Structure 1
Amino acid sequence: MTTPDIRIEYPEPGIARVMFARGDNGNASHPKMLGELRDAFLALADDESVRAIILAADGKHFSVGADFAFLDGLTHQTAVEIKTTVYANFQGAAKAIYRCPKPTVALVQGAAVTVGCELALACDFRIAADNAMFQESWIKLGIMPPLGGVFLLPRIVGLGRAAEMCLLGRPVKAEEAHRIGLVSEVCDKEALAARGMDFARDVAAIAPLAYATVKQSLHRGLESSMETEWQANLPNQAMLLGTDDFREGLAAVKERRVATFWGR
């Protein structure tokens, strides 16, 4: 899939890279672009040959937020039009990334503002270039973060820092983002793509059924109780214990070798 806005690459077997392709415009987003991003992640989630997905961007910035021409148009749309046309794409993209059962990692250089920040948050992991900056500046426009940030940020960085980002629109640069747990690591901007590939190779080697199950459990745990998790984890663990991947993992540990998982 290649469009003027989104490009899917397969740099090596098992790894897909979804690229924002509007680098000359700061990868500013609009509904069609986000609809394509949603469709890309849904397709990759169903592609059995893909074991890990990188979300990255051309150009200086990951994404500077929504396109201003698009924002201007919103002032003339009704609430119903916004819900049915805009957020079917914007929220649809965030949902597709967040719900993807496969490992997802965002590689962030430059600005990740509003929509860009929220899409990075929807990924399992974030690696930042040393020039990265995250900002939930929706409130400066008189609106709110609608794609999951107000739910995820307090759980990732704590309520106080999430309040500073969402209520004050405070930008967070790369080193601080690492210190507060917003990103997994920081690297030189020139090394970002290579580091992302190394990370993707590592997570692609993880048993896929176990990864999907644990990821689903972590997400469910954000909204449930300990008792609910104990009950849900019994059938999930029973299923995983019956897989070839478990037998391979156990054998690899006993034989002191690297396991090869098949997702069965």
Structure 2
Amino acid sequence: MKSSYGDTVSVALDGRHVAIVVIDAPPHNFVSVDMVRHLADALDALDGENDCRAIVLAATGKAFSAGADLASTTGVAGSGMGGIGSLYEQAVRLFAARTPVVAAIQGAAVGAGLGLALAADFRVASPDARFAANFVKLGFHPGFGLTVTLPRLIGAQRAELMFLTGRRIKPEQALAWGMVDELAPREALMDAARALAREIAENAPLAVTATRKTLRGELAAAVRAQTAIEFEQQSILRVTDDYAEGVKAVNERRTGNFAGR
């Protein structure tokens, strides 16, 4: 089985109950409504595929995902907050998928890209991986459900540290915090992610699904509720001078000159 979903997502089964799902939107693999919709469509289809018991989620290029493009008119916020609301509707579908996902992460997983990485059950990272929830540097509020998924994964204190500083976390620190499950050299990243997925897939599929459902609980519902709160706060902040300055500063790779208005 090999198939495509839109122009950015491809799926292939490796013959050992593992599907390889690849995001291909170089160079930055920016998160967009269409990309997340196509990814959710792929996961939905794999949930109905009897030969698929685990999924590897990967991305082409230097970055796993540099987040959502908030600056350009063609980006997710180019037409206002409506695009962001649509993005979150599709994001909830990722958390509702039933098949375990192992993300193979190289380069940046930033902002919404970090949110995408945390939709997976497990993360294998290469030495060049970097993780950041840099929303405050943009004068913005965290989104993509990160205010529920990040504290759930690394604890409230560490999540607050990431949110309020916007700092980048290196893979060794991410491993120590539990954000990453394994490290692997860049050239062996996909092999390591496949090995973990196959370790899951060799077990009784009904038992794996039931156990995962118990552990994740009502995560999709929690993400849906939290994205509604995130969207409300983002709508307020998006019309501020600080947001305009933050987007400009990040694009110019400098510290923002914020005025608190």
Contact 1:64 1:112 in 2 (8 A): yes
Q: Which has the higher contact order (CA 8 A, sep 6+)?
A: 2
**Is residue 168 of structure 1 aligned with residue 137 of structure 2?**
no
TM-score, scaled relative to structure 2 = 0.76
Distance 1:70 1:44 in 2: 33
Distance 1:44 1:19 in 2: 13
| Aligned residue runs from structure 1 range 187-198, under 5 A | 187-198=184-195
1:93–1:208 Cα change, 3 Å: farther
SS in 1 for 2:148: helix
| Aligned residue runs from structure 1 range 17-32, under 5 A | 17-23=20-26, 25-32=27-34
Within the candidate set 88, 93, 101, 1:91 is matched to 88
Alpha-carbon displacement from aligned partner over 1:183-241 (angstroms, at most 9, x marks no partner)? 10111111101111111111111222122222121122879xxxxxxxxxxxxxxxxxx
Note the C-alpha offset of 1:71: 6.9
Contact 1:102 1:208 in 2 (8 A): no
Gaps of 5+ in 1: 224-264
Gaps of 5+ in 2: 221-261
Contact 1:30 1:70 in 2 (8 A): no
Contact 1:61 1:112 in 2 (8 A): yes
- Structure 1 runs of 4+ aligned residues shifted over 4 Å read 70-73
Q: Which amino acid aligns with 1:197?
A: R
Alpha-carbon displacement from aligned partner over 1:102-144 (angstroms, at most 9, x marks no partner)? 2111110000011111111111111111111111112222222
Per residue, is there more helix in 1 or in 2? 1
Distance 1:51 1:122 in 2: 17
Contact 1:15 1:51 in 2 (8 A): yes
Distance 1:105 1:172 in 2: 20
Instruction: Tell me the residue number matched to 1:246.
Output: none
**Is residue 52 of structure 1 aligned with residue 54 of structure 2?**
yes
Instruction: Tell me the residue number matched to 1:9.
Output: 12
Distance 1:144 1:200 in 2: 33
Larger Rg: 1
TM-score, scaled relative to structure 1 = 0.75
Distance 1:149 1:207 in 2: 31
Contact 1:45 1:100 in 2 (8 A): yes
Contact 1:34 1:93 in 2 (8 A): yes
**Is residue 155 of structure 1 aligned with residue 152 of structure 2?**
yes
- Identity, in percent, stands at 35
